[in-house]
Structure formats: C-alpha cells, structure tokens
C-alpha cells in the first residue's frame, strides 16, 4: 500500500466517523438494551467527562476488559505513588464495575470515548493527559493520530499480536506502518510479539513478559463461593470456561458420557458471550439435561446436570468451585483463551489444541506438565474422567502450574523500568507547577 493510498484510507476512516457520529445515539441505545453499555453513562462514550480534572500531570490508561484492567492496576498504583494523577478507560460494563472497586484512591474511571474525532477531542481537551498507555492489542486509528497530533506519548504495554491480526495487518502493510509508527514505545509479551510489532513499523519495541502473571488471581465473592459450595455438596465438578459456538453442545454430550461413570457429576459452562445463554440453555434441555441458569437465580440442586454461568465478571468464582477447568475457544473454535487465570487459582487445565493466540503461555505450562491438550471430544472426556478420579494428579498439575507462574514473573518490574522514563519527568513538572502556584 503506497503512501498516497494510506493517506486516503485514513482520511476516509476519519470522514466516515464524522458522518456516523450524529447517528451513534441509536447504536449505543441498542447496546445498552442488551446490557453492553451503561445506560446512565453513555455520555462518556462521546468524550464527556465523568469528573473534574485535578491540577497536575495526568496519565491516561486504557484496557479493553476485566483481565487487561486487572493487569495494569499495579501500574496505576505505581503512578499514583509518584504523585501523578491517573484515569483509566474501559470498554465493558463488567470491567467498569470491577475496576471502580479496585482502583486506588485518587484515580478516575471513564468509559473509553468512541474512536471518532469529536468524542476524542472532547475527552482530550478535558483530561489533557501527559501520556497515554494502552494494553495488549488496543489499536484505534483516530485515537493514535489525535494523540500524535498533540505530541502526547503513546505506549502499548503487555502487547500481543495474534496470528490472525498479524496476517491482516501484513495485508495492509502501508496502513499498518503509518499507525504502528505512531506508538512512542511498544512493550511486548514475547519475542514473537515483539518481532511482529517491529515488522509492522513500531519503534522501539521491548520485551517484558506477560503482566497478567504478576497480578493476583481473578476477583470473586467469598460468600457466594461458600454458598454455592454448600449447594454442590462435594459433587465432582468441572468448568468449561470461555466457551464458543459449538463447544457448549459438545460439553453437554461429554457430560452425558461421563455421567455414566461419575453419576453425581456437575458440569459448569461459562460462555464467553453470556448473551448466547438462552439459546444454549434451550439446546441443552432439548438434549435431556437439567440446567440451572445463574443469571436467572435458578437453584442448583442435587439433580442439576449443568450450571450455566452466564454472568459477567465471575470467572474467579467458577474457577474456585471447579476441580478441573477446560479452557474454550480451542476445540470447536480457533485461537484459545488465557490459561493463566485457571493456573493462578490452582485449577488443573485441559484445552483443545487450537491455542495459537496464547502460544507462549501454553508452551510454558505444557513443558511443565501443568496443562493437557486434547484433539477431540472423546479425548477431552477421557482426560476429564482421569483427573476427576485422581486428586493426586490434580495436585501435581496445580503445583506444576504454580512453579511455572513463579518462573514467568517479572514483567511488572521490566515494564515499570521502561515506563519510568516517561513518568519521572512528570514528577518534575508537578513540582515546578507546585512552586509556581506557591504550594510547594
């Protein structure tokens, strides 16, 4: 893609955004009706502020959802300890609810503005960030360009690039270079990720490892854990986590297979997209399974076959309830999901083999004997039966996962070492402002 075509593509993107901007109201209302937007805070998506900006320097952090948000909380705590203000934006209702509970005092939360020039200008004019830090694969064209125009440093941390995304960007290499070149710094999870970002035009690129390893496990409600554990009452229990289309039906069949050998078995299914659950519940019930749907407060009793975990932000709860976890988007779908979350709860992991989006994490866990990869439903059923009947093997896998996680730690320290070169000048700016205002 030549330079002229790239400029035309970006101008077209900007133009479409300006045309679409007046019509975003109905779109956001539809999303709100489906629980994907906070109805009372939709104005934030247009860049309207959620609070007054305090005096002094400001760092803008952005994370797409819960996992990414939890990974950067330690970065925010570090910045706040330096006396620098912070705001974090997220894109999902669940992440907003959880982040606001976990944010250190003095930090602000707001929904991320639409990647449209009017919304971005309004957001940036109010908060006036001195640096913007994004996580993993959050690459928004207008956001990057607007920040670059204002000469605000743009850093991507815990960066990763899936096979699919890399191929797509390579097919538009000119456009990719014009965007990735706008990053002031990229801090990648692995050498492969770093090589891909470099190949697409990012400079400089460093490697830190995965920030999620250095964070605590997923949050959960201890009272709910105790309550549901009493309902389960010692039954063998496993969870199919972050499942995608086709996997839930397979899980139902596997439950029926295993129930012949483990009569009191309980299977929990946590679909990646909970809005699919009504259709899934109907399908499972058609196949003769007794389903209790958590979002509807249906009772989990001794006869329940499937507990449908169709709530947001409770993965930590389900993982602590389960004796074994199957990680989805790996058997009937492609790419895999993050295996570090069950590893951190000490839950033995089984996954399909299509886990290329989390290749490094799975490789480390596999080499340590902390995960089992299966190729089909029969193999998954056999491994589940073995692990559910062998607590000693489950303990061994959990210990191997713990050891692997300890060896993988250190990303936070490496990331902060790089970011401090952006943070420390702001402490000087803060002190000078204090002196000029007579408060220092």
Q: Which residues are catalytic?
A: 68
Q: Are the C-beta atoms of 61 and 138 separated by less than 8 Å? A: no
Residues 146, 148, 151, 154, Cα dihedral to 10°? 110
Output the CA–CA distances (angstroms, integers) from residue 40 to 26, 29, 43, 47, 363, in the order listed: 15, 11, 8, 14, 44
Give the burial class of 207: count Cβ atoms within 10 A of its Cβ; 0-12 exposed, 13-18 middle, 19 or more buried: middle
CB 330 within 8 A of CB 246: no
Q: Could you give the angle at which helices 66-81 and 411-436 cross, rounded to 10 degrees?
A: 50
How many helical (H) and strand (E) elements, i.e. helices and strands, does the chain have? Answer: 18, 14
What sign does the dihedral 109-110-112-113 (CA atoms) show? negative
What tokens were used for 105?
């005092």
Residues 351, 354, 358, 362: is their CA dihedral positive or negative?
positive
Contact 350, 223 (CB under 8 A): no
Cα pseudo-dihedral 117, 112, 147, 25, rounded to 10: 0
Q: Which residues are CB-neighbours of 25 under 8 A, at least 6 positions away?
A: none
Give dist(CA 231, CA 252) in Å, integer: 21
């Amino acid at each position: 893609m030549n330079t002229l075509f790239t400029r035309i593509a970006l101008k077209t993107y900007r133009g479409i955004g300006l045309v679409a901007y007046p019509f975003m109201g109905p779109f956001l209302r539809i999303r709100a009706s489906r629980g994907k937007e906070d109805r009372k805070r939709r104005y934030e998506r247009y860049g309207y502020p959620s609070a007054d900006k305090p005096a002094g320097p400001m760092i803008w952090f952005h994370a797409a959802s819960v996992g990414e948000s939890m990974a950067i909380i330690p970065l925010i705590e570090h910045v706040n300890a330096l006396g620098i203000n912070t705001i974090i934006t997220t894109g999902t209702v669940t992440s907003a609810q959880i982040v606001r509970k976990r944010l250190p005092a003095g930090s602000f939360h707001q929904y991320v503005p639409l990647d449209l020039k009017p919304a971005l200008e309004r957001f940036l004019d109010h908060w006036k960030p001195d640096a913007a830090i994004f996580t993993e694969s959050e690459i928004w064209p207008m956001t990057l360009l607007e920040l670059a125009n204002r000469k605000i440093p743009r850093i991507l941390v815990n960066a990763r690039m899936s096979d699919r995304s890399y191929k797509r960007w390579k097919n538009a290499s000119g456009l990719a270079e014009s965007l990735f070149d706008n990053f002031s710094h990229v801090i990648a999870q692995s050498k492969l990720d770093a090589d891909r970002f470099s190949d697409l035009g990012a400079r400089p690129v460093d490697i830190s490892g995965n920030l999620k390893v250095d964070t605590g496990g997923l949050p959960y409600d201890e009272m709910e854990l105790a309550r549901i554990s009493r309902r389960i009452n010692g039954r063998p229990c496993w969870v199919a986590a972050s499942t995608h289309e086709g996997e839930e039906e397979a899980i139902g069949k596997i439950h029926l297979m295993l129930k012949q050998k483990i009569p009191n078995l309980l299977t929990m299914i946590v679909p990646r997209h909970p809005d699919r659950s009504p259709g899934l519940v109907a399908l499972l019930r058609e196949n003769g399974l007794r389903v209790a749907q958590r979002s509807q407060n249906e009772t989990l009793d001794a006869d329940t076959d499937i507990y449908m975990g169709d709530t947001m932000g409770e993965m930590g709860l389900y993982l602590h309830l389960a004796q074994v976890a199957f990680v989805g988007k790996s058997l009937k779908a492609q790419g895999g999901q993050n295996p570090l979350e069950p590893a951190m709860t000490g839950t033995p992991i089984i996954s399909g083999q299509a886990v290329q989006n989390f290749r490094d994490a799975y490789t480390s866990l596999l080499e340590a004997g902390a995960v089992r990869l299966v190729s089909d439903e029969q193999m998954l059923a056999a491994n589940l039966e073995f692990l559910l009947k062998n607590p000693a093997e489950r303990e061994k896998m959990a210990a191997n996962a713990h050891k692997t996680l300890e060896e993988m730690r250190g990303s936070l320290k490496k990331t902060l070492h790089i970011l401090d070169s952006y943070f420390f000048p702001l402490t000087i700016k803060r002190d000078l402002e204090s002196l000029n205002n007579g408060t220092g």
